[in-house]
Amino acid sequence: MADKILVLGSSGQIGTDLVESLREAYGNDNVVASDLREPSAERLAQGPFEQLNAMDAEAVFEVIKKHGITQVYHLVAMLSATAEKMPMKGWDLNMTSLFNFMELIKEGHISKMYWPSSIAAFGPNTPVNDTPQYTVMDPGTVYGISKLSGELWCDYYNKKYGCDIRGLRYPGLISYKTEPGGGTTDYAVDIFHKAVKGEDYHCFLSEDRRLPMMYMPDAIKATIGIMEAPAEQVKIRTSYNVASFSFTPRELNALIQKEVPGFKTLYDAVDERDAIAAGWPQSINDSEARAHWGWKPDFSLEAMVKDMLKNLK
Ligand code: AKB
């Protein structure tokens, strides 16, 4: 029987690109997009869509049964900056939606699930450079606490009940199709939108704040890669470190300037997101993901900058 895939959060930054790639690989009708928000007319025309609240266990179960869903990509989350403004809402959304689906796997209604973690699961006492897979994890944000807790629950459901749940610790993700919403790493997308409009960018992180980042095509490759890997190769069931490149706002600005002469970034809008970023790693060691299931990114930092500008123009 062909796999039937449900993508939750399909109108978000990752979901938009992921649905497209999954539909190319599995066929439009085998990938059900879903989101709390109403879909665009374009999205609706491309294939099945369900408007769904991932917190509503009954509604979720109905959608799973209606479409005979076998695999779920669960991309619903409140990101770091927004969750700091509404801690209990962030915790509730991030955890309740996860438990709804873990219970469905446990009861045998679906066979495989993807649930992403983040570099936010690390914290101020984590080694900042070449951060290993196994290390101190003391997240200082609600989002990070929910990601670390979720990772441990995914591992528990795997060990205790044999649930096939897989995850990646995403760095900041850069994409041109959909803008991110509510994250600390969003500046690395916002800056490109200003550059192509010929405007200055007022950055909310300080100029030397280095963070690990990844271009969306590589994030999609990693996401589908871990889901398609044979189960025995996915040896880590909390979540895998994955890495691509790291840069500071100053370095990104310099690379954009090479392509867009006259572009300028000003550091006059630094806010509380800079303190969040200060508690995160600067670069990530992903040797386990490379060794276990063959992860390898394609895009260099320079290639990403050129591709972003080309597509946004
Ligand atoms: C955020 O900035 O909150 C996210 C993340 C690193 O998970 N992009």
The CATH number linked to 279 is 3.90.25
Q: What is the DSSP letter of 12?
A: S
- CA 176, 33, 27, 2 dihedral sign is positive
In a domain, 291, yes or no: no
**Catalytic status, residue 114:** no
The one-digit pLDDT tens for each residue of the chain (313 residues) are 789 999 999 999 999 999 999 999 999 999 999 999 998 888 889 999 999 999 999 999 999 999 999 999 999 999 999 999 999 999 999 999 999 999 999 999 999 999 999 999 999 999 999 999 999 999 999 999 999 999 999 999 999 999 999 999 999 999 999 988 899 999 999 999 999 999 999 999 999 999 999 999 999 999 999 999 999 999 999 999 999 999 999 999 999 999 999 999 999 999 999 999 999 999 999 999 999 999 999 999 999 999 999 999 9
The ligand 1 atom nearest the CA atom of 280: 6
Q: Do 207 and 189 share a structural domain? A: yes
Judgement on whether residues 194 and 262 belong to the same structural domain of the protein? yes
- Minimum CA distance residue for ligand 1 atom 1: 183
Range of the domain at 15: 5-171+214-241
Residue 122 is part of a domain; what is its CATH number?
3.40.50.720
| Total domains in the fold of the chain | 2
Beta bridge partners of 233: none
Structure tokens at 237: 């069931």
197 contact partners, CB below 8 Å, separation of at least 6: none
Residue 228 lies in a domain: yes
198, two tokens: 């010929």
Q: Ligand 1 site: residues with CB under 6 angstroms?
A: 79-80, 118-120, 143, 170, 172, 183-185
Residue 248 and residue 197 in one domain? yes
289 in any annotated domain: no
Quick one: which of 180, 198, 182 has its CA closest to 190?
Answer: 180
Same domain flag for 278 and 161: no
Q: Which of 143, 157, 176, 240 is catalytic?
A: 143
Nearest CA to 221 out of 22, 2, 1 is that of 22
Domain co-membership, 140 together with 12: yes
Q: What spacing in Å lies between the alpha carbon of 77 and ligand 1's midpoint? A: 10
pTM above 0.95, yes or no: yes
**Are 180 and 106 members of one domain?**
no
C-beta separation of 132 from 153 below 8 A: no
Do the domain assignments include residue 275?
yes
In a domain, 273, yes or no: yes
